Amino acid sequence: MSPSADPAPAPAPAAAPAEDVRMPAPELPEVLNRANGFKSVVEEAVNSASGSDASTDPFKLASDFAYTARRLKVFTIGAGFSGLLMAHKFQHRFPDMRDIVDHTIFEMREDVGGTWLVNTYPGVQCDVPAHIYAFPFDPNPNWERFYASGPDIENYIRSTVKKWSLDRDIQYNTRVAGAQWIAEQGQWKVTVETTVNGVVQPARDEYCHVLISAQGVLVHPNWPSIPGLRDFKGHITHSAAWDHDFDYSGKRIAIIGNGSSGIQIVPQMTKLPGTTVRNFIRGPTWVYYRAPPSKHLGRDDPDPNPRYTDEERQRFQDPEYHLQHRKGIISRTNKSFYIFMKGKNNAEGMKFASEQMAAKLNHDPELCEKLIPKWELGCRRITPGPGYLESFLEPNCSLTNSGITKISEKGVHTADGEFFECDVLVCATGFDVSHRPRFPLIGEGGRDLAEIWKDDPESYVSVAVPHFPNYFVMMGPNCLGGHGSLVESLNWTGDYFVKWLRKMATEDIKAVAPKEEVVRAFCKYGDQIHKTLVWTGSCTSWYKRGTRNGRVTALFGGSAQLFNKLITDIRAEDFEFTYNTANPFRFMGNGFTAFEMDENSDLAWYVEKAEKLEDSQVVEGENKVDPKAAAKARFNELTADVSNGTTIST
């Protein structure tokens, strides 16, 4: 064959089957040939690098994977809504908490419910719409009325606890008698007393890493300080400790107070046969339907507390429909926050509320003068109070705003020289709302929280206190208690606590507490916001610790939306940290995470898909409304006459 001749063509290779198409190996060969894959490689390297003193020297390589959680012992005080929300989060909502938290709830009473276990007086009901006053994880579609009664709420709480086994970690009849921070251990020493068959057992000390106060402020009765109160020879009862064994029919009844409980008790006592009722008040209060039930129900009903129809309750069985109903109530409530801002909107609200109250009082000039406030709408808590105002049109019910000078054996004496002889004295004087612990709570350096909060309680966004490490509070000072859904805010707060517990457990943190200067700044700036809100108005209220011109210490300075945003994420820069060792990066462990040891984990989870440039992002010159500018314009409109006519600068 000539060297220049072309070689014969080679035969064409056969086409490979589709299933033989080559794909990259999921792991590299050097990993595949190991019996336990990559995990064995890591363990071998760690074992060779770790010294015998790795457990004592925090800068020696640790054998644990990064972010390995340590177990935390958590005590919660109280089994009302707040404490039970925490139980649900640890047991159900956050599965990782099951491996982190050892939980105990100390409840001083014999059952769950908190304020709804304590308050059983006639007519007790919640003045928040029932469908937004419920556990967010298991809302009740079967409420009987728009505003739920106390017994209905208590029964709902009990049934929810049973359904979700939320009483698993509760120790009933166990009172916290004291708590002290032990800095060396990074733990709280909590002294508790348990009552068995009416006998208080010897106190015992128990220890926890984190202490949560879920006690609330509407639990402990506040008895009035009136000369001669204990000299009264008739029957004395308190709204928060009602005596159900006594027959109130045919009695002359003095009711002291016109807060929420007094407003609900008066019509109930007036309805009883043969009673004569007198209500002793210090001043007027707003009894007003800010958003009548008809606005939420979409139907007219003359009943101030309408029953839900069978058809409505049936529709609520659909979780999506029920969700939209609940969201509608909360949305309308949040949108009406402007009524709490000083200025023309509040003035218009005052006019409308005054007209509504006057109509219920049949425009009686004396009653209107005594009962309709001149101060801002919402300065004190607005109460719907069905039947309260109308009671004073009945022949057996009256009131006086003359101050009580003393109580004698047979009745009540007032500053105008009048004497009301009575058989029953009802103290509807509310609760100790000072926020002060009713037991010694001792933080860093022997600080006693009851003394610190004696005159002016301050907290970090209502949830934590400087110099009290690992102590978290539900409904602390400046909480979201005056607007929106309280239970929703408690739910957000519980989620916030879980984030801290997760961070502490996985980052080897021994103790956390807010910085004192941060809390001071938060409170100082909150005071400025409060100047625009009616809670700093000219009334006397418990929001200001029973003063007229004092600081608002009970309520958050701002909207529900702002409160939510503040506690959605941890602002770590606001806190002092103490770690378990001298190495704040000890939690990095052996340099790897347990996640990447799992052969089923997607180790390329962070690779992003290409984005598409939307047409709306490249339009030029088009006239568009700036949402931020529009929001500021609306805010300035609502606050046009706040702060001497000045507005917020744009």
Among 22-36, 45-59, 190-204, 544-558, the least confident range = 22-36
| Co-location of 378 and 272 in the same domain | yes
State pLDDT tens for residues 476-529.
Answer: 999 998 887 889 999 999 999 999 999 999 999 999 999 999 999 999 999 999
| Domain finish residue from 378, 399, 427 | 427
Residue 599: closest CA among 66, 38, 34, 29 = 38
Q: Using CA atoms, how far apart are residues 232 and 251, in angstroms rounded to an integer?
A: 15
pLDDT of residue 292: 79
The CB density around residue 537, as the number of other CB atoms within 10 Å, is 21
Residue 590 inside a domain? The answer is: no
pLDDT of residue 643: 44
| Domain finish residue from 532, 556, 579 | 579
Q: Using CA atoms, how far apart are residues 399 and 370, in angstroms rounded to an integer?
A: 9
Residue 592 inside a domain? The answer is: no
Residues 329-347, mean pLDDT to the nearest whole number: 91
In 292-407 the beta strands, taken as DSSP E runs, fall at 397-400, 404-407
Higher pLDDT, residue 29 or 330: 330
Alpha-carbon torsion 258, 262, 267, 271, what sign? Answer: negative
Residues 574-591, mean pLDDT to the nearest whole number: 97
pLDDT at 630 over 70: no
Q: Using CA atoms, how far apart are residues 238 and 543, in angstroms rounded to an integer?
A: 21
Phi, psi of 233 (to 5 degrees): -90, -10
Q: Using CA atoms, how far apart are residues 216 and 490, in angstroms rounded to an integer?
A: 10
Q: Using CA atoms, how far apart are residues 488 and 21, in angstroms rounded to an integer?
A: 56
Residue 63: closest CA among 77, 47, 52, 78 = 47
Phi, psi of 367 (to 5 degrees): -65, -40
Q: Using CA atoms, how far apart are residues 160 and 138, in angstroms rounded to an integer?
A: 8
| Domain finish residue from 405, 427, 449 | 427
pLDDT of residue 636: 66
| Co-location of 332 and 468 in the same domain | no
| Co-location of 268 and 308 in the same domain | yes
CATH classification at residue 237 = 3.50.50.60
How many degrees, rounded to 5, is the angle at CA 414 between CA 268 and CA 433? 60
| Co-location of 547 and 520 in the same domain | yes
State pLDDT tens for residues 295-314.
Answer: 888 888 888 899 999 999 99
Which two structure tokens, joined as six digits, stand for 195? 């009552």
Which two structure tokens, joined as six digits, stand for 428? 């509807």
pLDDT at 136 over 50: yes
- pLDDT grade for 5, boundaries at 50, 70 and 90: very low
State pLDDT tens for residues 190-222.
Answer: 999 999 999 999 999 999 999 999 998 887 888
| Co-location of 414 and 460 in the same domain | no
| Co-location of 398 and 366 in the same domain | yes
Percent of the chain with pLDDT over 70: 86
The C-alpha R_g of the chain, in whole angstroms, comes to 32
| Co-location of 404 and 330 in the same domain | yes
| Co-location of 423 and 437 in the same domain | no
| Co-location of 91 and 233 in the same domain | no
- pLDDT grade for 7, boundaries at 50, 70 and 90: very low
Alpha carbon separation from 249 to 50, 256, 276 (Å, rounded): 81, 18, 9
Which two structure tokens, joined as six digits, stand for 582? 């001298």
Q: Does pTM surpass 0.85?
A: yes
pLDDT of residue 290: 74
- pLDDT grade for 627, boundaries at 50, 70 and 90: low
Residue 183 inside a domain? The answer is: yes
pLDDT of residue 202: 97
pLDDT at 27 over 70: no
| Co-location of 78 and 213 in the same domain | yes
Among 212-221, 324-333, 608-617, the least confident range = 608-617
Burial of 494 (0-12, 13-18, 19+ CB in 10 A): buried
**β-strands 252-256, 424-427: how paired?**
parallel
pLDDT of residue 300: 87
Which two structure tokens, joined as six digits, stand for 328? 């509608």
pLDDT of residue 8: 46
CB 97 within 8 A of CB 90: yes
**Per-position DSSP letters for 424-444, written without gaps between them:** EEEE---B--S---SS-EE-G
**Neighbouring C-alpha atoms within 13 Å toward the C-beta of 282:** 10
Residue 502 inside a domain? The answer is: yes
| 542: Cα separation from own chain's centroid | 18
State pLDDT tens for residues 414-460.
Answer: 999 999 999 999 999 988 888 999 999 999 999 999 999 998 999 99
Rounded to 10 deg, the angle between the 486-506 and 560-568 helix axes is: 10
Which two structure tokens, joined as six digits, stand for 456? 């002016």
| 362: Cα separation from own chain's centroid | 39
- pLDDT grade for 403, boundaries at 50, 70 and 90: very high
Q: Look at the chain and report how many structural domains it folds into.
A: 2
pLDDT at 47 over 90: no
pLDDT of residue 622: 52
Residue 552 inside a domain? The answer is: yes
pLDDT of residue 294: 82
Looking at the DSSP assignment, which residues form a beta bridge with residue 400? 280
Residue type, 635: F
| Co-location of 193 and 333 in the same domain | no
Q: Using CA atoms, how far apart are residues 132 and 330, in angstroms rounded to an integer?
A: 7
How many degrees, rounded to 5, is the angle at CA 415 between CA 414 and CA 418? 50
Q: Using CA atoms, how far apart are residues 356 and 343, in angstroms rounded to an integer?
A: 20
φ/ψ region of 165 (left if φ > 0, alpha if ψ in -120 to 50, else beta) reads left
Q: Using CA atoms, how far apart are residues 325 and 320, in angstroms rounded to an integer?
A: 9
Which two structure tokens, joined as six digits, stand for 100? 């982190």
pLDDT at 628 over 90: no
Residue 543 inside a domain? The answer is: yes
CB 194 within 8 A of CB 410: no
pLDDT of residue 34: 47
Residue 60 inside a domain? The answer is: no
Q: Using CA atoms, how far apart are residues 126 and 153, in angstroms rounded to an integer?
A: 8
| Co-location of 355 and 386 in the same domain | yes
Looking at the DSSP assignment, which residues form a beta bridge with residue 537? none
Residue 544: closest CA among 375, 371, 370 = 375
pLDDT at 378 over 60: yes
Q: DSSP class of residue 140?
A: -
pLDDT mean across residues, the chain: 90
User: Range of 291's domain?
Assistant: 229-427
Residues 249-274, mean pLDDT to the nearest whole number: 97
Residue 137 inside a domain? The answer is: no
pLDDT of residue 6: 44
